[in-house]
Amino acid sequence: MRAATLRGTGEAFVTEDLRLRDVGPRDVHVRVAASGVCHSDLSIQDGTIPHPLPAVLGHEGAGVVLETGADVTTVAAGDHVVLAWVAPCRACFFCLRGRPELCEHGLDHAFAAPYATAPDGTAFLAAFGTATFGEETIVPERACVRIDPAFPLELGALVGCGVVTGVGSVCNSARVEPGASVVVIGCGGVGLAAIQGARLAGAAPIVAVDRVAAKLDLARRCGATDVIDATETDQVEAVRGLTSGRGADFVFEVVGRSATIEAAFEMTRRAGTCTIVGAGSPTDMVRFGALQLMVGAKTLRGCVYGSTDPARDFPEIVRLQQAGRLDLDALVTRRIALDELNDAFRAMHAGEVARSIITY
Ligand SMILES: [Zn+2]
Ligand SMILES: [Zn+2]
């Protein structure tokens, strides 16, 4: 099967033929139908997020089950599945406390052993345990969530990371109430999904902040009532202007940089909630005044994977899209072939796209 491999940090992707390992008793062999290109893949490629290489990246995928291991019971050949990049064990400390997105073993399989080898003998890890930048993959049963076969798999792919992360940050993590004021900083695929989540939750106003005009247009389509171009306006002042000087009830930072995190915290009202969704660098330090932390009485929280339970949320998002309550089509900027991946990364780095989707 063909896959886009990454052999070293900062290198380009190379499309090559790989041989998958054997399917274990609890594994599922999936023909990948589509894969989104997510910013976290870029962060691994450029070294912002450390990850052992060589590997095949891609963690936002959907496909069709080709074969299952002997002990697999929840999916069967022919099923349409969305892949989860955390495969919850359902038995650890966090799983038992309703936090499967933090599963202590949810990524064990990704680092346990290579999942495929090249003809020259190079062994590749499946990054995030999913490796959707390839025509086929092998994942644990727990990473597979069956969905309605009538649902388009290219939209299903987006559900597996960007959509559930954005919608989940609003609906699962922060639990935005109707009428609350919401700000979303960063209008890529995840940010646009967060804006749609805020619309779903009945928030108003919904304020989108970005530095690219085209993304702010998309933000309006996704439910933003106000947009702020951070290249032209002081975003903190602009948010205060829209919220009677108080700041917003809920702010979502979907960039992952200290400067925007500090701005997000500042534009959150006293006793409001600031949720960090963007994946930043471990060495990028955020600074707050000690007194302001106390006086503001704000909640600052991180949010992994939209606090999702994949088995619960993936079919729910599919249903909401089918009911016309979500607009996943708005997130798709372009469809590409596997060997156009390097250009998709260039476009993502340049901020030109919400989401590129590889269709196989
Ligand atoms: Zn992602
Ligand atoms: Zn667990």
| Predicted confidence (pLDDT) per residue in 112-171, tens digit | 999 999 999 999 999 999 999 999 999 999 999 999 999 999 999 999 999 999 999 999
Check residue 353 and give its pLDDT.
79
Spacing, Cα 49 to ligand 2 middle (Å): 23
The answer to whether position 341 is within a domain reads yes
Residue that is written with structure tokens 């993936």 in the block: 314
The answer to whether position 155 is within a domain reads no
Spacing, Cα 257 to ligand 1 middle (Å): 16
Four-residue CA torsion sign, 32, 37, 38, 40:
positive
For the segment 60-118, what is each residue's pLDDT rounded down to a tens digit? Answer: 999 999 999 999 999 999 999 999 999 999 999 999 999 999 999 999 999 999 999 99
Q: Are residues 283 and 331 in the same domain?
A: no
Check residue 50 and give its pLDDT.
87
Four-residue CA torsion sign, 129, 134, 135, 136:
negative
Spacing, Cα 106 to ligand 2 middle (Å): 6
- The arithmetic mean of pLDDT across residues 227-249, rounded, is 97
Q: Are residues 131 and 194 in the same domain?
A: no
The ligand minimizing its distance to the Cα of 91 is 2
> Distance of CA 354 to CAs 14, 166, 176, 216, 308, Å?
23, 13, 24, 11, 21
Check residue 154 and give its pLDDT.
96
The answer to whether position 315 is within a domain reads no
The answer to whether position 198 is within a domain reads yes
- Give the CATH number, domain containing residue 279: 3.40.50.720
Spacing, Cα 266 to ligand 1 middle (Å): 26
The answer to whether position 99 is within a domain reads yes
Q: Are residues 208 and 266 in the same domain?
A: yes
Spacing, Cα 227 to ligand 1 middle (Å): 24
Check residue 193 and give its pLDDT.
98
In the predicted structure, residue 349 carries a pLDDT above the cut 90: no
The ligand minimizing its distance to the Cα of 41 is 1
In the predicted structure, residue 49 carries a pLDDT above the cut 90: no
Spacing, Cα 91 to ligand 2 middle (Å): 5
The whole domain housing 131 covers 2-146+327-359
Check residue 90 and give its pLDDT.
96
Check residue 351 and give its pLDDT.
81
Spacing, Cα 44 to ligand 1 middle (Å): 11
Q: Are residues 227 and 260 in the same domain?
A: yes
Spacing, Cα 47 to ligand 1 middle (Å): 15
Q: Are residues 127 and 173 in the same domain?
A: no
In the predicted structure, residue 352 carries a pLDDT above the cut 90: no
Spacing, Cα 205 to ligand 1 middle (Å): 27
Spacing, Cα 176 to ligand 1 middle (Å): 22
The answer to whether position 318 is within a domain reads no
Spacing, Cα 37 to ligand 1 middle (Å): 8
> Could you give the CA distance from residue 360 to residue 358 in angstroms, rounded to a whole number?
6
Q: Mean pLDDT for the chain?
A: 96
- Give the CATH number, domain containing residue 116: 3.90.180.10
Q: Are residues 142 and 17 in the same domain?
A: yes
Spacing, Cα 39 to ligand 2 middle (Å): 25
The answer to whether position 311 is within a domain reads no
Q: Are residues 140 and 12 in the same domain?
A: yes
Spacing, Cα 39 to ligand 1 middle (Å): 6
In the predicted structure, residue 333 carries a pLDDT above the cut 90: no
- The arithmetic mean of pLDDT across residues 340-356, rounded, is 89
- The arithmetic mean of pLDDT across residues 223-234, rounded, is 97
- The arithmetic mean of pLDDT across residues 288-307, rounded, is 96
Q: Are residues 9 and 120 in the same domain?
A: yes
The ligand minimizing its distance to the Cα of 89 is 2
For the segment 251-293, what is each residue's pLDDT rounded down to a tens digit? Answer: 999 999 999 999 999 999 999 999 999 999 999 999 999 999 9
Q: Which residues contact 82 (CB under 8 A, 6 or more apart)?
A: 61, 62, 144, 145, 147, 156, 157, 159, 160, 310, 314, 318
Spacing, Cα 290 to ligand 2 middle (Å): 35
The ligand minimizing its distance to the Cα of 93 is 2
Check residue 209 and give its pLDDT.
98
Q: Are residues 41 and 97 in the same domain?
A: yes
For the segment 13-47, what is each residue's pLDDT rounded down to a tens digit? Answer: 999 999 999 999 999 999 999 999 998 899 999 99
Spacing, Cα 109 to ligand 2 middle (Å): 13
Q: How many domains does the chain have?
A: 2
Helix axes of 213-222 and 189-200: crossing angle, nearest 10 degrees: 30
In the predicted structure, residue 309 carries a pLDDT above the cut 90: yes
| SS3 readout for 178-231 | CCCCEEEECCCHHHHHHHHHHHHCCCCCEEEEECCHHHHHHHHHHCCCEEEECC
Q: Are residues 136 and 177 in the same domain?
A: no
The ligand minimizing its distance to the Cα of 96 is 2
Spacing, Cα 337 to ligand 2 middle (Å): 35
Q: Quick one: pLDDT band at residue 213, thresholds 50, 70, 90?
A: very high
